[in-house]
Amino acid sequence: MPREHMSKECAICGSALIQRTQPEQAKCSYCGKQGEEQFLCPKGHVLCQECRNKDAMSVITGLVRATTATDPGDLAELMMGLPNLPMLGCEHAFIAAGSFMAALRNSPYGREKITNEDLQEVLDRTAKQAVNGHCALTGVCGVAPALGACVSVFLGARWGSDTEQKITMEAVLRVMQAIANMTGPACCKASVRTGLRETVAFFSERFGILLPFSETPVVCNRSALHPHGCAEDRCPYYQKPAADIFADSIHLPITACRS
């Protein structure tokens, strides 16, 4: 059996990489290209050198157009693991919009109704409202209008339309309220996770469109990177330190048993 040992960390999920004694063929998690890799993630993530050197937005745009994923949460987590993605920034709005719209396009409902042109339209609209710092300057997190753009394009809402515009605003209000409930300090990654969960639920309740959304709790491993200080226990994704359940227990003297 080939000898293996642990070395380095996965740039996507932070897991310790397994170093193979010989390089193996592996497919990049982002661009899909095959190549030889010697350090492999136990969760199956692979990041080729070309994607590693690209800026985050190029990878995000390319991935959402090419992916066949149907779970927007899983897709967003993959993109939020990009090593060149900043901890905070409006790239996260594009991740939210791209993940949801790509998953909708790949679903049984969207395969004949949602096009790559619709996906690009969502990203173009997001670019007009997702501006760094606006969560503080105007009180609007870019993730909310990004997901609102998904609803708007899905419904074909236009300026002056009636029901379509109302439903879009209801969706944005729901996402914004959920984000506001956990803000302090704001975290773009938490906003993406919560915004996607609410939008998936909204589409299920309002339109009967069911998108898979992993029920496995997301545990964030990037708390230490937050430039303004992680909200920690106030965030539903915070990785709480392991507790020593015996720390305060009474230690009784041990008497050796002699026969």
List pLDDT tens digits, range 183-195: 778 899 999 999 9
Task: Classify residue 250: in a domain, yes or no.
Answer: no
Domain identity same for 104 and 41: no
Alpha-carbon span 197 to 220, nearest angstrom:
16
Confidence of residue 1 (pLDDT cuts 50, 70, 90): very low
Task: Classify residue 133: in a domain, yes or no.
Answer: yes
Domain identity same for 195 and 215: yes
Q: Which residues of 71-94 are buried (b: 16+ CB within 10 A; e: fewer)?
A: bbbebbbbbbbbeebebbbbbbbb
Residues 120-134: tens digit of each pLDDT = 999 999 999 888 777
Task: Classify residue 134: in a domain, yes or no.
Answer: yes
Task: Classify residue 161: in a domain, yes or no.
Answer: yes
Residue whose structure tokens are 């993109």: 79
For residue 62, pLDDT beyond 80: yes
For residue 176, pLDDT beyond 90: yes
Domain identity same for 31 and 147: no
**Residue 13: which of 256, 155, 219, 259 has the closest Cα?**
219
Task: Classify residue 259: in a domain, yes or no.
Answer: no
For residue 255, pLDDT beyond 60: no
| Phi, psi at 40, each rounded to 5° | -120, 140
For residue 2, pLDDT beyond 50: no
Domain count, the chain: 2
Quote the Cα angle for 20-23-24, to 5°: 95
For residue 102, pLDDT beyond 90: yes
Alpha-carbon span 63 to 14, nearest angstrom:
20
Contacts of 93 (CB under 8 A, 6+ apart): 126, 130, 142, 143, 145, 146
Confidence of residue 250 (pLDDT cuts 50, 70, 90): low
Domain identity same for 75 and 179: yes
Task: Classify residue 66: in a domain, yes or no.
Answer: yes
66 or 20, greater pLDDT: 66
Q: What is the pLDDT of residue 253?
A: 54
For residue 251, pLDDT beyond 80: no
Confidence of residue 249 (pLDDT cuts 50, 70, 90): low
Q: What is the pLDDT of residue 6?
A: 39
Domain identity same for 101 and 198: yes
Domain identity same for 97 and 17: no
DSSP letters for 137-161 = HTS--THHHHHHHHHHHHHT--TT-
Average pLDDT over residues 46-61: 81
Mean pLDDT in the chain?
A: 85
Alpha-carbon span 99 to 72, nearest angstrom:
5
Alpha-carbon span 55 to 78, nearest angstrom:
15
Confidence of residue 10 (pLDDT cuts 50, 70, 90): confident
Domain identity same for 30 and 88: no
SS3 for 27-73 is ECCCCCCEEEEEEECCCCCCCCHHHHHCCHHHHHHHHHHHCCCCCHH
Domain identity same for 43 and 96: no
Task: Classify residue 257: in a domain, yes or no.
Answer: no
Task: Classify residue 248: in a domain, yes or no.
Answer: no
- Residue 38: which domain range? 5-49
Query: Is residue 165 within 8 Å of 116, Cβ to Cβ?
Result: no
Domain identity same for 146 and 44: no
Q: Coil, strand or helix: which one is 235? A: coil
Domain identity same for 69 and 146: yes
Domain identity same for 10 and 34: yes
Q: What is the pLDDT of residue 105?
A: 96
Alpha-carbon span 117 to 120, nearest angstrom:
5
Domain identity same for 41 and 167: no
